[in-house]
A and B are shown apart, each in its own frame.
Chain A
Amino acid sequence: GEDVEQSLFLSVREGDSSVINCTYTDSSSTYLYWYKQEPGAGLQLLTYIFSNMDMKQDQRLTVLLNKKDKHLSLRIADTQTGDSAIYFCAESNAGNMLTFGGGTRLMVKP
């Protein structure tokens, strides 16, 4: 079945850039997503990218997709303490259910 993998933990200093990486196995993935989950809160969609794109920028967020290597990354510029959360990569096929990675915990040090 489909598999989505992420590193468990990332620590950065406030003001630095954060890069969170994700790999997936399903070559028929249509959309790839980044969700944010803060403690005690639900999942919040940050951004998504269609599989025929290789980059998408949205304010401080930049998503890079290498479809050949099935590698997705999320770059957060000028990381703030409020960005501390768990970030989930997810993929979907034909807009159906999402397959999530295990999440990357981002810690931002002041």
Chain B
Amino acid sequence: DTGVSQNPRHKITKRGQNVTFRCDPISEHNRLYWYRQTLGQGPEFLTYFQNEAQLEKSRLLSDRFSAERPKGSFSTLEIQRTEQGDSAMYLCASTQRTSGVVEQFFGPGTRLTVL
């Protein structure tokens, strides 16, 4: 399967715990995006990387959130001291940045439930 993959698909945790999600983009894609989708809403942008550089962060990304893409391939999103409001679907997307239209390919998401 050469699509975007995300692990785990589901995560249930207790409030106050730390969680980490992983995203493996399509192999030749140099841009990787993280979005968050709460129930009944559209996805909201969190952050994106071009290769290993984190180029933009949304104001939604509080200091409890950190994202990395150490070798310009897979990325991790960590949430420290989780809160119930962090419950959402976390989506990863990747693209090859070239001229013209930029189609973002989305992974299946990681659904986080904070109890």
**Which positions in A face B, CB cutoff 8 Å?**
4, 31, 41-45, 48, 50, 88, 90, 92, 95-103
Count: A-B pairs, CB below 8 Å:
51
Given A31-B102, A50-B101, A101-B42, verify A42-B109 contact (CB < 8 Å): yes
Among B43-51, B61-69, B77-85, the stretch that binds chain A is B43-51
Report the minimal beta-carbon distance from A4 to chain B, rounded to whole angstroms.
Answer: 8
- Is B106 interfacial (CB-CB < 8 Å)? yes
Q: Is the CB of B102 within 8 A of A88?
A: no
Most buried by B among A42, A96, A99: A42
B7 at the interface (CB under 8 A from A): no
Bound Cα distance A48, B44 (Å): 19
The CA-CA distance from A41 to B33 in the complex, in Å, is: 18
How far is A9 from B32 in the complex, measured between Cα atoms in Å? 31
Pairs across A and B, CB under 8 Å, 30 listed: A41-B108, A42-B106, A42-B108, A42-B109, A43-B43, A43-B91, A43-B93, A45-B104, A45-B105, A48-B101, A50-B101, A92-B102, A95-B95, A95-B97, A95-B101, A95-B102, A96-B56, A97-B48, A97-B56, A98-B35, A98-B43, A98-B45, A100-B42, A100-B43, A100-B44, A102-B41, A102-B42, A103-B40, A103-B41, A103-B42
- B residues within 8 A CB of A98? 33, 35, 43, 45, 104
For A35, the closest partner residue in chain B by CB is B106
Tell me if A45 and B42 are in contact (CB < 8 A).
no
Residues in A whose Cβ lies below 8 Å from that of B41: 102-103
